[in-house]
Structure 1
Amino acid sequence: MHKLYSNKKVIFSLMAPGLFVFAAAILAPILLSVYYGFTDYSGIGKSSFIGLDNYRTLFQDSVFWTALRNSLFLAIGFICIQHPLAMLTAIKLDQLQGKAEGLFRCIFFIPNVISVAVIAYLWKFIYNPNFGLVAKVLKNLGFTGQLNLLGSGNAIWSVLVVLIWHGFGWGMLIYYTGVKNIDPVMYEAASIDGANGRDIFFHITLPLMKPVIQVNVTMAVIAALKQMETVYLLTAGGPGNETQFMASYLYKQAFQSYKYGYGNSISVMFIVICLISTVALNRIFAERGE
């Protein structure tokens, strides 16, 4: 068996299917995207090579910078609001034990198994200024005006609430898995030594959860950058372009404005930003670990 797995031909034959799938499904589309980013291709007919024109236009495009700002704003919301709440919820679930633990774990994860279309239209009704749930609650509290939560100035905050709520279950489940992998003996030893809940969290749970936090934060940043479906169904990037995100703006340029080449230049920037974010986060966590 050792001779078999040390044979280069056998190793290559085992790796070949995976390499082929990777090349066909990931590498080839990325290379094509880079190529089309240097053209004026509309998605139909022929294209012409225009060099860096798309990228020059991109850096002068105020909507692109709005989309990038919204994506980064959402990433901060995930990291600073969603993840602390998800981690605390995971710790509390671990402490529940029994049937209650499984029940609440399922309840918190329900939004993640509901269709994105259902989520978007559900929140449209909740935010409706005439008959929505928020409007009725405000009316019962004595608010007499009409508040359009998907209107100008409010839409981005409303969208952030939906996205943070919708993705809460995944973050919680990942942290819950991390908490479950911590040896209970460590908690028992800390309790015997007189450590309180705060000490246990900061000196045992948090340090041991570092790899899980790193994965979850990296996934949150990438998820914020590629956010598209919920935003498109909820506001379609409006009003104006206030709620444009990078992925939704890419879709709009490539498939609605028929600027396929320009849309691919946005996708290249998207890949570059994701790579930079991943490397930066890995460096930050490595330095904290040291």
Structure 2
Amino acid sequence: MKKLYSNKWVILSLVLPGLFLFVFAILAPICLSVYYGFTNYSGMGSYQFVGWENYKNLFHDAAFGTSLRNSLLLAIGFIFIQHPLAMIVAAVLDKLGGKGENFFRCVYFIPNVISVAVIAYLWKFIYNPDFGLLNNIIKAFGGKGDINWFNYDTAIWAVLIVLIWHGFGWGMLIYYTGIKNIDPVLYEAAAIDGATQIQIFFKITLPQMKPVIQVNVTMAVISALKQMETVYLLTNGGPGNSTQFAANYLYQQAFKAYKYGYGNAIGVVFIIICLLVTVILNKIFEEREAKIKVKEVA
């Protein structure tokens, strides 16, 4: 077997399928997207090379700026609302044990199992100004139950609530898995020393969860940038681009406005932003980890 795997032709035959898949399914589309971003291609027929024109227009495009602002708001919501709650729920579930732990773990993950289309239409009914659940609850407490949640001023907040709620299960499950992988001996030692549950959470759970937090935060920021399906089904970026997100705007420009070249320019900028965000977050976590190590040594 060792002789077989040391044969260069055998190694090449094992590597080539994956290499071809990477080139034709990932690398080639990215290269084509970069190329079309420098053209005025409409998706059909002939086209011309326009250089940096699409990118110049993009940086003066108010709708694209709004989409980036909304993505930033969603990323902040993920990091400062969804993830702290997900981590606390995961820690509580870990301590709960028994059938209750399994039951609530499934309950929190149910929204991620349900189709995005079902989720979007469910929330449309909840937000409905005439017979929606939310307005009926407000009426029950004596308030005005005729609020239009998808007007220009409140639509983005309504969409953000749905997106933060919908992604809660994934974040909770990742944190839950990370907590389960922490050595129980550490908790036993802390309990013997008389540490409270809050002290155990901040002194053991959080430090041990740093790699999981790094992955989860990076995924959350990228997820905020590439939101499309839920937004498309809820508001399609409206009213007046107030709930526009980059991925949804890309779809509208490339496949509805027939500005395929412009849509590809948006895609290229989107990829660059994702790469920069990933690198910056990795650097931030590396620097924090280095400072903590220095303090520990001191």
Tell me if TM exceeds 0.5.
yes
Give CA deviations for 1:204-242 in whole Å, capped at 9, x if unaligned. Answer: 101110111111111111111110000000001001100
Match of 1:34 in 2: 34
More displaced 10-residue stretch of structure 1: 166-175 or 12-21: 12-21
Matched, 1:64 2:64: yes
Alpha-carbon shift at residue 16 of structure 1 (Å): 1.3
Corresponding residue of 1:225: 225
TM-score, normalised via structure 2 length: 0.95
Measure the CA separation in 2 of the matches of 1:263 and 1:276.
20
Q: Does 1:84 align with 2:84?
A: yes
Q: Secondary structure of 1:199's match?
A: helix
Aligned-residue offset at 1:199? 1.6
* Secondary structure of residue in 2 paired with 1:42: coil
Paired amino acid for 1:62: A
| Structure 2 residue aligned with 1:73 | 73
Match of 2:161 in 1: 161
The residue aligned with 2:137 is: 137
Match of 1:183 in 2: 183
In structure 1, the residue matched to 2:244 is: 244
Cα distance between partner residues in 1 of 2:26 and 2:7: 28
Superposition deviation, residue 2 in structure 1: 3.9
> 1:31-73, CA deviations, whole angstroms, 9 ceiling, x for partnerless residues?
0100000000000111110000000000010110100110111
CA–CA separation in structure 2 for the residues paired with 1:190 and 1:215: 27
Q: Which runs of 5 or more residues in structure 2 are unaligned?
A: 291-298
The alpha carbon displacement at 1:13 in A equals 2.2
Alignment of 1:128 with 2:128, yes or no, is yes
Provide the C-alpha distance between the structure 2 equivalents of 1:245 and 1:212, rounded to a whole number of angstroms. 27
CA contact (8 A) 2:121 2:233 kept: yes
TM (norm. structure 1) is 0.98
State the Cα deviation string for residues 135-182 of structure 1 (Å, max 9, x = none): 101111111362111111000000000000001000001001000001
Q: Where does structure 1 differ by over 2 angstroms across 4 or more consecutive aligned residues?
A: 1-13
Structure 1 residues without counterparts, runs of 5 or longer? none
Q: Could you tell me how far 1:194 is from its partner in structure 2?
A: 1.7
Q: Give 1:193 shift.
A: 1.1
CA RMSD of superposed structures (Å)? 1.1
- Answering whether residue 84 of structure 2 is matched by residue 97 of structure 1, we say no
Partners of 1:182 and 1:144 lie apart in 2 by 49
Equivalent residue letter for 1:190: A
